[in-house]
Amino acid sequence: MKHLLRSVLYPALMILLGSVIYAFGFVWCCDTNGIAFGGLTGVGQIVNHLFPQVPIGACVIVLNIPLFLLGWKLIGGGLLVSSLFAMLASSLLTDFFDYFTYEPMDPLLATIFGGVSLGLSLGIIFRQNATTGGTDLLARLLKLKLAWLPMGKLLLGIDLAVIVGVSLTFQTLESGLYGLVGLYISSIVMDGVLYGLDTAKVAYIISEDNERIMHKLLYDLDKGITILQGTGAYTGQERKVLMCAFKQREIAVIRAAVKEIDPNAFVIVTDAHEVLGEGFRDYKKDDI
């Protein structure tokens, strides 16, 4: 029973939550205020503008059919089952929320909150190994070949052409410009949801008292240490450099421990992403 909750019900609820945020954010912020949207939802905006009797959500479902057939061939059915659920939920909820009337708001506020809601919703859905179909699914397919590119940046490039098309259809430059701002915000938020929790730090420590510092980090703070061999360019003196990876929230403790032993220690702390191994994340073949 616990396995069922963890593997099926929890992901389904999270996908549904993401779909609600996606649909409501689009209708309330973007569609109501005439702001261009990316992806097949943006294509749905174009079709709905030209043929008002065609609901945006229903249009998105029809346009997704060939992409899902392609995805079934390339990435198998596991991802597509959850993505089909996410796509149907977000599209049907879009048409549901569209039945209600919303007061237009300041375009800048609509852009900001629309971008945040889009990025948050897609981040939640992607974390459950699903997509909302459309260009999201296309980005997921491209990720198989371009594994080094973050999902947010992939979507940013794919959606750009759609936003330009929506702007031309609406015949207003402001719609496209606001759409670009919202798209950029959404990519930042999405990458924050997908990768932000994995943010870590790496410290490089050079000290005259390396042994005590290493002992403190290893045995008192339970941190892994790697010893690097370095040579001072000016003095030519060989030195040991301690390298230590740790979670972002531990930076104050690490820094205090080093400076307590050697106030003159030379410490470089850098950002680290995608840290894999003991104490951090495990590698998964289909990670995004």
How far is residue 9 CA from its own chain's centroid?
Answer: 22
Does 249 lie in the same domain as 146? no
Does 133 lie in the same domain as 40? yes
Does 241 lie in the same domain as 138? no
Tens of pLDDT, residue by residue over 8-28, are: 788 889 999 999 999 999 999
| The pair of three-digit structure tokens given for residue 92, joined into one six-digit string | 């049907």
Number of domains making up the chain: 2
Asked which of 150, 165, 197 is the last residue of a domain, the reply is 197
Does 261 lie in the same domain as 192? no
pTM of this structure: 0.70
User: 95 or 129, which is more confident?
Assistant: 95
CA distance 237 to 254: 26
Paired sense of beta strands 200-206 and 238-247, if any:
antiparallel
Does 126 lie in the same domain as 190? yes
Asked which of 147, 176, 197 is the last residue of a domain, the reply is 197
Tens of pLDDT, residue by residue over 54-79, are: 999 999 999 888 878 777 766 656 56
pLDDT beyond 70 at 113: yes
Residue 236 has φ and ψ, to the nearest 5°, of 75, 5
Tens of pLDDT, residue by residue over 77-94, are: 656 788 889 889 999 999
Does 78 lie in the same domain as 152? yes
3-state helix, strand, coil in the chain (%, to 5): 65, 10, 25
In which domain, by residue range, is 212 found?
200-272
Residue 204 has φ and ψ, to the nearest 5°, of -110, 120
Longest CA pairwise span in the chain (Å): 77
Which H/E stretch holds residue 166? helix 151-170
pLDDT beyond 90 at 153: no
Within a domain: 102? yes
Does 154 lie in the same domain as 69? yes
Does 163 lie in the same domain as 240? no
Tens of pLDDT, residue by residue over 205-259, are: 999 898 999 988 988 888 888 899 888 887 888 888 999 988 777 888 888 889 9
| The pair of three-digit structure tokens given for residue 91, joined into one six-digit string | 């599209």
Output DSSP code: residue 56: H
Does 261 lie in the same domain as 129? no
User: 106 or 73, which is more confident?
Assistant: 106
* Mean pLDDT value across residues 95-112: 92
Within a domain: 278? no
- The string over 87-125, giving b where at least 16 C-beta atoms fall within 10 Å of a residue's C-beta and e elsewhere, is bbbbbbbbbebbeeeeeeeebeebbbbbbbbbbbbbbbb
Does 161 lie in the same domain as 146? yes
Asked which of 177, 197, 217 is the last residue of a domain, the reply is 197
Does 15 lie in the same domain as 155? yes
Does 250 lie in the same domain as 168? no
